[in-house]
Structure 1
Amino acid sequence: MQTRDIMTTPVIAVTPPAALADAADVMSRSGFTTLPVVDPTGHLVGLVSEIDLVEAGFRSRAENTDPDDSADNATPHTLDTVAMVMHTPGLAVPADLDWAELARRMAEAGVRALPVMEHDKLIGMVTFRDVLRAMRVPEES
C-alpha cells in the first residue's frame, strides 16, 4: 500500500497571511493537527501545527501582558499570522512511498503529519492516524 492510498484529500490549507485564529478554527473544525501553508499559486511553503499555535499564544500573552493585568485580560498581539509561526517543511513524502517506509520516516523525524507531493504539487496530507488505519488492513498478495 502506498502513501497515496492512505493520505487525506482534498488538502485543507492556509496561506501565510492567514490569522492564527483562522488557522486554529480550521484545525478545530477539520480535526487536523497540522495544516499545510501554501502560496497563492498553491505551492507548499510551510506547515503550521497546533503546537505552533499554542506556543504562539503563550509567547504573545507573555510579551503583551501587563503584570498588573489578570491573564484573562491579556490579548495576543505580537504573533498574529501563520507566516510568523509556520515552519518550512523539512520533510515531505512522495505519493508512491510504501506506507511502512512512511511510518518509519515519520517516527524517526518525530512528526505526526506530512505533506504528500507528486510532481512538485501538494496532493494530500498523511498522519499517524492514517498509518494506524493502514496497519489494520491486510496487505494483498
Structure 2
Amino acid sequence: MLISNVYRPMIFNCQAVERLAEAARRMEEHKVGALAVLDGERVAGIITERDLVRALASSADPASERVAAYASTQIKTASLGEDSGEVARRMLEAGIRHLPVDDHGRLVGMVSMRDLLTLETWAV
C-alpha cells in the first residue's frame, strides 16, 4: 500500500525558538508523538517524545530550554508514492518512529510506526 493511503495529512508543528514545555503541551493536546520543527516557515527538524525524554534525562529545564537544542535536524522523509512496507523497513533500520511525509519537497503530513502497524494488523 502507498504512504498516501496511510499517512496523517495534518501537520502539527512548533517553532525552533519555542520552549520544550510548549512542545510537550502541543503533543499532548493533539495526541501525537512528534512535531515538525519550523524555523520561520522552513522545516528545520522534528522533535519527538524521545527527544523530550533525552532533554529531561540531561536535566534540561523544559520551561526555559528551546526546542532547537533537542530537535533532530537530520530529517529523513517519506514520499506519498512510496510503498508503506519499504517506509516501515527504513524506519526500523534508522530506529525512528515518526517520519515526515513530503510531496515534491513540500511537507504534507506525518507517518508513524503506529500507523504502519495498524495497516499491517488490519490487512491480515
The structure having more radius of gyration, on CA atoms, is 1
Instruction: Give the drift of 1:138.
Output: 3.8
Structure in which a larger fraction of residues adopt strand: 2
Aligned twin of 1:53:
52
Residue 92 of structure 2 corresponds to residue 107 of structure 1: yes
Name the TM-score, length of structure 1 as normaliser.
0.79
Provide the aligned length of Structure 1 versus Structure 2: 124
Instruction: Give the drift of 1:90.
Output: 3.5
Query: Measured at CA, do residues 22 and 77 of structure 1 come closer, stay the same or move farther in structure 2, by a change above 3 Å?
Result: closer
Query: Measured at CA, do residues 125 and 77 of structure 1 come closer, stay the same or move farther in structure 2, by a change above 3 Å?
Result: closer
Name the TM-score, length of structure 2 as normaliser.
0.89
Query: Measured at CA, do residues 78 and 32 of structure 1 come closer, stay the same or move farther in structure 2, by a change above 3 Å?
Result: closer
Residue 99 of structure 2 corresponds to residue 135 of structure 1: no
RMSD value over aligned CA atoms? Answer: 2.0
Aligned residues: percent identity? 32
**Quick check: 1:113–1:125 contact (8 Å CA) kept in 2?**
yes
Q: Which runs of 5+ in 2 are unaligned?
A: none
